[in-house]
Amino acid sequence: MLPAGSRVVFLHAHPDDETLATGVLLAALVDDGHAVAVVTATRGELGDVVPGPLARLAGTPALVEHRVGELAGALAELGVRDHCFLGMPPARAAGLAPRRYTDSGMRWLDEEETVAGPGGQAGPDSLALADAGEAAADLAAFLGSFGADVLVSYDELGGYGHPDHVACHHVAVAAAALAGVPLVEVVSEPRTSVEGAQAFALERYLPRVRDALAHHASQLRVDGDEVVHVGGQRQPILTTVRLSRAEA
């Protein structure tokens, strides 16, 4: 799925998703000599903030700048040098008007707070309400500028169902077709199981991912080999990523 020497682009929805969902894979690909880039669709404008000194940032413009800085620190820990927000410079270079996509918000659909859905906070510039064709053209512009061989993003369930993750799936499908590159999807376990999915077990990268996650201090706390999310949910730091080829 990820041939040796291939140039790989990951599309993620918000700052911290890149490390939570695919941190070990990003670090491994960099170490294996791949050219790796991350495109982040939004800046996480509607994210909650963990209790403590950073809580003052919640709901303010300062949260956006802070989360952008957190993302830069996490990517540096993982060794990823190429990053762009969806709709930024490569889109302009391709003759497209620059566009900025914002966080759509969410709400939990179950008592365990493991499955999300639309929350009613999405503004007119939100990713979930964006024109899918325009967003796909923006991503395709980046794929072309980077010389991508493979695009990696969420499957149709978007991991845990956040509307921005689901939107990224649809954008990735369309952009891969526009750019003529294969799409590889991160399997939304445990919500689904895909026959033939390839597991990348990369436990050796746990320390690096732990350090990268620590940069996302507005969104989570690292506790040993677990992360404690803003709502108090505990989750083991993922060290295995399962990928599946998207159907053409």
Q: 166-189, pLDDT tens digit by residue?
A: 999 999 999 999 999 999 999 987
Q: Are 87 and 42 in contact (CB under 8 A)?
A: no
Rounded to 5 degrees, φ, ψ at 200 are -105, 100
Query: How many Å apart are CA 29 and CA 180, to the nearest integer?
Result: 22
Q: Kindly report, residue by residue over 20-55, the tens digit of the pLDDT.
A: 999 999 999 999 999 999 999 999 999 999 999 999
Which has more confidence, 127 or 248?
Answer: 127
Q: How far apart are CA 3 and CA 10, in angstroms?
A: 15
Q: What is the CATH number of domain 7-245?
A: 3.40.50.10320
Which pLDDT does position 247 carry in this prediction?
Answer: 79
Q: Determine the length of the chain.
A: 248
Q: Under a CB-based contact definition with an 8 Å cutoff, are residues 92 and 7 in contact? A: no
For residues 146-164, average pLDDT: 92
Q: What is the pLDDT of residue 108?
A: 62
Task: Give the lowest-confidence range in 64-73, 106-115, 154-163, 213-222.
Answer: 106-115
Q: For residue 17, how many C-alpha atoms fall within 13 Å in the half-sphere facing its CB? A: 27
DSSP 102: B
Burial 82-92 (b: 16+ CB within 10 A, else e): ebbbbbbebbe
Mapped onto helix, strand or coil, the DSSP state of residue 169 is helix
Tens digits of residue pLDDT in 47-99: 999 999 999 999 899 999 999 999 999 999 999 999 999 998 776 667 777 89
Provide the pLDDT for residue 92.
64
Q: What is the pTM of this model?
A: 0.93
Q: What is the DSSP letter of 191?
A: T
Other C-beta atoms within 10 Å of 198: how many? 14
CB within 8 Å of 132: residues ≥ 6 apart: 167, 170, 171, 174
Q: What are the domain boundaries of the chain?
A: 7-245
